[in-house]
Amino acid sequence: MIACVRCLFLSIIVALYSLPVQAAIDSYRFLHVTIETPWFIFLFLLIGVLSPFVLMAVLMWRTAIQKNNREIDDSDHPASPD
């Protein structure tokens, strides 16, 4: 029984270690590089680079509007003399 479990465990280990080798051999077959590939890479990186700047602009605009609203609310209620 122990020998059977040991053999099964060994065969699973060998199978798992042989999968990356098999994938590395066949990976070039599935790598479809066409003329559009650089454009897809460019667009992906463009979104990744420009999205923080768009987020920053939106947050600055939102903060400015909230600050402006707070100043308007403060001017409507004059401070009481203490």
Q: What is the mean pLDDT of the chain?
A: 79
DSSP summary character for residue 52 = H
Task: Please report, for the chain, the start and end positions of each structural domain, with discontinuous segments joined by +.
Answer: 1-31, 32-75
The rounded radius of gyration (Å) of the Cα atoms in the chain is: 31
Cα-to-chain-centroid distance, residue 10: 37
Residue 57, pLDDT score:
96
- Residue 40 — left, alpha, or beta (φ > 0 → left; ψ -120 to 50 → alpha)? alpha
pLDDT one-digit tens code per residue, 35-56? 888 888 899 999 999 999 999 9
For residue 67, is pLDDT > 70? yes
For residue 54, what pLDDT is reported? 95
Residue 56: what pLDDT?
A: 96
Global pTM reads: 0.47
Alpha carbon distances (Å) from 69 to 57, 78, 79: 18, 15, 17
